[in-house]
């Protein structure tokens, strides 16, 4: 058409050829890029994308290790763990919350409305029920409900209930030990968790032919204790009876094997059930026998007299003229009753629990030397027993003792101990003067079955064998005629021990007035061949009474059972005759 130029008009033949060649090159380049990208996607990156898709379908679940057992010395279980599961759900995947809730309510024992509410939440994770037994899990799995899953949630059981609860301790919600043996041996008991990787499809349900890989958990080891569950039960029952008298608010007792230092029983009232620890007053969740300290009173005189005998200052039949009071700096210390000067033997000072006679001997020993003996007996330091929260007690340096303190410490005031420390003192005397570090763990068995005995207990010669024999002789007079604790006697057995009645500090005023008393009795039997030590202390903020009348009967009941269950034969030798007061 005239006046119209066609595309490419005016270009030479060579120019049009060049333009076509550039266009063809551009098209070929695009085609190569597309093909290269397809090769990369399908050949090179395909595996990565496939792996990413696969990873998106993988779920990782922890496999809980079953916590190990805690056993008594005879293999009776005090704590063990059983399989259980936590039932959880992904509400985003649950197809029909109402229908799912209707099927689950009876199996989980959870109200249907509560389940509907949880399954309808705008969330990817809700807990429907905890610690569900395996048979219930099997029943739920058979329902094939989309979005309902399971997690390991083992249950810790304490079949003995409160018996030994303060020793065994308890675990928290995360399964970690929070008290007692559960805490001290948490690493050994906990085991090592495993893991499971599983490929899931719609509804988060495992794909039958998909990936299912597991690294198994390693269950925890077993801790065997030295305590005897039956004796532990009797000890706690007897303490409970004492605490029910209306005046005693707290009491503790420890039973030691004389020859080994092993703790055969340890309890306090009130106690607690480890299985109900979360519902228990936190103030009751400790172990007072190792953590609470008290002024022991006259039971401490055994240390003072031991020092005097060991230093050659006193002998059992030596006679001292003892008044009923003695000056001690800014105050006067009196005997338990008013009396004219008495010609006490040293045995009589022990049997009658004379404060004045004991202070007289302590002054001959000297403050510095007496402190050395007290520390050698373990006062002022922890015993090292395998339990958390142990107190070291209170013993000031002798250089800081005032005149009144120097008179109080030898008779058990102005110094504080735990029940375990008290038992350890008398174990030393009963064991020919050799103090053995108290132990409450016998062995640990690893998951592979290898048993490791507890480390050998330390042994320290505190007093000589002859001094220990003299002390056993004098302490036996305490339970005999004229002594302060005839109610500590046990038919058929010779018993040695000492009473204690100490003023209890009043927390309201920081003084002794109105604080009540702590009564105690510690002893061993048979006195001629000691097998067990039993220490008992009872806190009585508003009650009167003394160690011989209140604590000694508890001692006798516990010791009687210990001797019986330990198959200890009655003493084969008669009780010695004691001279308590010298008559010219």
Which active-site residues does the annotation give? 298
Phi, psi of 444 (to 5 degrees): -130, 125
User: How far, rounded to the nearest angstrom, does the alpha carbon of residue 150 sit from its chain's CA centroid?
Assistant: 32
| 3 state SS of 265 | strand
Cα separation of 174 and 172, whole Å?
A: 5
Q: State the alpha helices, DSSP H only, in 315-366.
A: 346-351, 355-365
User: Half-sphere exposure of 545 toward its Cβ, with a 13 Å CA cutoff?
Assistant: 23
Numbers of helices and strands, H then E, in the chain: 18, 23
Segments in 191-269 forming alpha helices (H): 229-243
DSSP code of 550? I
In angstroms and rounded to an integer, the radius of gyration of the C-alpha atoms of the chain is 38
How many beta carbons lie within 10 A of that of residue 214, not counting itself?
12
CA angle at residue 142 from 137 to 148, to 5 degrees?
65
Angle between helices 301-310 and 465-479 (to 10 degrees): 140
Using the structure block, give the residue that is written with the tokens 């349900």: 205
Strands 496-503 and 459-461: unpaired
* Partners of 195 in the β-ladder: 62, 215
Find, among 220, 169, 212, 229, the residue nearest to 192 by Cα: 220
Q: What is the dihedral of CA 17, 20, 22, 23, to 10 degrees?
A: 180
Residue 156 to residue 332: CA distance in whole angstroms? 56
| Crossing angle of the two packed helices 419-430 and 301-310, in degrees rounded to 10 | 30
């Amino acid at each position: 058409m005239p006046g119209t130029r066609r595309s490419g008009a005016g270009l030479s033949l060579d120019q049009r050829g060049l333009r076509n060649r550039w266009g063809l090159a551009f098209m070929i380049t695009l085609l190569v890029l597309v093909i290269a990208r397809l090769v990369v996607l399908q050949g090179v990156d395909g595996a990565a994308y496939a792996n990413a898709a696969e990873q998106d379908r993988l779920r990782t679940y922890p496999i809980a290790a079953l916590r190990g057992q805690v056993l008594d010395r005879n293999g009776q279980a005090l704590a063990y763990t059983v399989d259980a599961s936590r039932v959880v759900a992904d509400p985003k995947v649950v197809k029909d919350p109402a229908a799912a809730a209707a099927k689950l309510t009876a199996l989980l024992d959870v109200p249907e409305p509560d389940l509907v509410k949880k399954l309808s939440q705008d969330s990817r994770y809700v807990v429907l029920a905890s610690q569900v037994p395996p048979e219930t899990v099997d029943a739920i799995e058979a329902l094939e409900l989309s979005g309902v899953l399971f997690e390991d949630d083992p249950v810790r059981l304490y079949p003995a209930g409160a018996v030994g609860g303060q020793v065994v301790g308890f675990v928290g919600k995360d399964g970690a030990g929070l008290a007692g043996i559960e805490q001290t041996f948490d690493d050994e008991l906990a085991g090592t968790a495993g893991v499971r990787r599983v490929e899931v499809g719609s509804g988060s349900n495992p794909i039958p032919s998909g990936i299912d890989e597991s690294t198994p958990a390693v269950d925890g080891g077993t801790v065997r204790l030295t305590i005897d569950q039956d004796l532990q039960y009797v000890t706690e029952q007897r303490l409970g009876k004492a605490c029910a008298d209306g005046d005693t608010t707290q009491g503790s007792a420890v039973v030691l094997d004389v020859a080994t230092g092993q703790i055969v029983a340890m309890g306090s009232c009130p106690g607690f059930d480890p299985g109900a620890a979360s519902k228990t007053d936190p103030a009751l969740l400790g172990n007072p026998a190792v953590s609470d300290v008290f002024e022991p009173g006259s039971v401490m005189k055994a240390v003072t007299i031991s020092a005097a005998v060991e230093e050659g200052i006193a002998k059992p039949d030596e006679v001292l003229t003892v008044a009923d009071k003695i000056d001690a700096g800014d105050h006067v210390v009196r005997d338990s009753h008013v009396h004219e000067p008495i010609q006490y033997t040293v045995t009589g000072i022990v049997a009658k629990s004379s404060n004045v006679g004991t202070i007289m001997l302590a002054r001959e020993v000297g403050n510095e030397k007496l402190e050395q003996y007290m520390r050698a007996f373990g006062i002022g330091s922890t015993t090292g027993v395998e339990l958390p929260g142990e107190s070291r007690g209170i013993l000031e340096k002798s250089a800081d003792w005032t005149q009144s303190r120097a008179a109080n410490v030898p008779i058990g005031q102005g110094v504080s101990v735990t029940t375990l420390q008290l038992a350890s003192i008398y174990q030393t005397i009963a064991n020919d003067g050799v103090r053995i570090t108290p132990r409450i763990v016998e062995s640990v068995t690893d998951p592979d079955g290898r048993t490791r005995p507890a480390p050998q207990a330390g042994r320290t010669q505190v007093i000589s064998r002859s001094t220990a024999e003299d002390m056993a002789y004098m302490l036996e007079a305490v339970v005999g005629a004229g002594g302060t604790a005839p109610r500590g006697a046990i038919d058929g057995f010779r018993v040695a021990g000492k009473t204690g009645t100490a003023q209890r500090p009043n927390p309201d005023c920081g003084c002794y007035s109105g604080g009540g008393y702590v009564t105690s009795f510690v002893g061993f039997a048979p006195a001629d061949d000691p097998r067990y030590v039993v220490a008992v202390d009872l806190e009585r903020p508003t009650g009167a009474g003394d160690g011989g009348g209140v604590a000694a009967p508890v001692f006798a009941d516990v010791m009687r059972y210990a001797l019986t269950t330990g198959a200890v034969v009655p003493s084969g030798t008669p009780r010695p005759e004691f001279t308590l007061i010298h008559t010219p």
